[in-house]
Amino acid sequence: MSSAPNHSDPSSDHEPLLDVRGLRVSYQSSRGPVEAVGGVDLRVGRGEFVGVVGESGCGKSTLLFAVAQLLSPPAAITDGSVEFKGQNLVRLTEKQLNALRWRDYSVVMQSAMNALNPVTTIAAQFKDAILAHDRRSAEQIRARSVEVLQLVGIDPVHLGSYPHQLSGGMRQRAMIAMALLFTPDLVIMDEPTSALDVVAQRSLMVQIKELQQLLGFAVVFVTHDMSLVSHFSDRLLVMYAGQVVEAGPTRQVFDAPAHPYSRGLLDAFPSIHGPRVPLTGIPGSPPDLAEPPPGCRFAPRCPVVEEACHRVAPALYPVGGVLSRCLLDAPDRRTPATPVEATS
Ligand SMILES: Nc1ncnc2c1ncn2[C@@H]1O[C@H](COP(=O)(O)OP(=O)(O)OP(=O)(O)O)[C@@H](O)[C@H]1O
Ligand SMILES: [Mg+2]
């Protein structure tokens, strides 16, 4: 086996499409800046499916919005780069970005009800998205709109429907159809299934995966439910308090999670097929991002915390094929003789 380069997010063999480096995002608040994304690296290859998981408030949506250049005040990127198909999106003008949106990358939001315009039909919204890029005849627009709706399994008769006339699952699928109008290279998804019941969630996940395999686009998929992406993503990034705490191939992170937080997240969802249970694996709550703990941000909740963890901020250390932001995984701390914690 060849040795992987020591990036903080080792991507697979896929040709690079998105390369995010050192990305920092702050919200200005009355209490001073709140750094919701604190130096994140994220690489996505062509056709790759990358899952981003973590508890509520850890910065997942902020990260995606920053990548897609959709942040608005009081949030702003304070550092880092977002290289997409060779261009740093952070430096592009709104006009240049508009040329890429929908066509080269698109975003599917948590709630289609908020993303879709409630007072216009699906057909009108698809038309607007298409005309923002291309001069196309009414006939061409209709043909493409019918095509993408069929792709997501919605009867084209619904082109005449308003968002509120569709079920929650159909609205999310309509949103995905819209995101695929131009067959972009990258589709960024922020919990697109979270408003749905468990059965609808699964079937939408399967559909997203099938579309991805059919059309070949890459996906960055955010969720707080680690088990949801377990069968679908190639790689996983686990976020905690604005930082990546573990990154690696999905199977590896699932089978042998390195970071105590990843282990806690997995314990919170004990069965892929069982009922969803509250997050019981990790007592306490994430830190206030206006004043993160000085050492490891997870130290106050960590079951294996040591004295040094409260003082020393860990880097991401390569360990067993993944990267882990845990001092216990630092090369000088690792003791191979330490018994591996039994997983329940
Ligand atoms: N308007 C705001 N002003 C100040 N801070 C904010 C604002 N919006 C978000 N934040 C901060 O950013 C952090 C990350 O928020 P974000 O919405 O990105 O988290 P998330 O991981 O997407 O959570 P969820 O799973 O609930 O969607 C929050 O914990 C909060 O401290
Ligand atoms: Mg969110």
Q: How far is CA 330 from the centre of its chain?
A: 26
Residue bearing the CA closest to ligand 1, atom 25: 56
Helices 198-215, 168-179: inter-axial angle, 10-degree rounding: 20
Helices 122-131, 138-151: inter-axial angle, 10-degree rounding: 120
Closest ligand 1 atom to Cα of 286 = 29
Task: Please provide the CATH number assigned to the domain covering 16-94+185-329.
Answer: 3.40.50.300
Give residue-wise pLDDT tens across range 263-299. Answer: 999 887 655 445 555 545 688 899 999 999 999 999 9
pLDDT value of residue 335: 58
Residue bearing the CA closest to ligand 1, atom 22: 61
Give residue-wise pLDDT tens across range 159-170. Answer: 999 999 999 889
Burial classification of residue 333, based on how many CB atoms lie within 10 Å of its CB (0-12 exposed, 13-18 middle, 19 or more buried)? middle
Ligand lying closest to the C-alpha of residue 109: 2
Cα separations in angstroms, 57 against 94, 111, 170? 28, 17, 27
Q: Which of 171, 174, 170, 181 is nearest to 129 (CA)?
A: 181
Give residue-wise pLDDT tens across range 167-219. Answer: 988 999 999 999 999 999 999 999 998 878 888 888 889 999 999 999 999 99
Q: How far is the CA of 25 from the centre of ligand 1 (A)?
A: 11
The domain ranges of the chain are 16-94+185-329, 112-181
Give residue-wise pLDDT tens across range 124-163. Answer: 999 999 998 889 999 999 999 999 999 999 999 999 999 9
Closest ligand 1 atom to Cα of 29 = 4
Give residue-wise pLDDT tens across range 85-106. Answer: 999 999 999 999 999 999 999 9
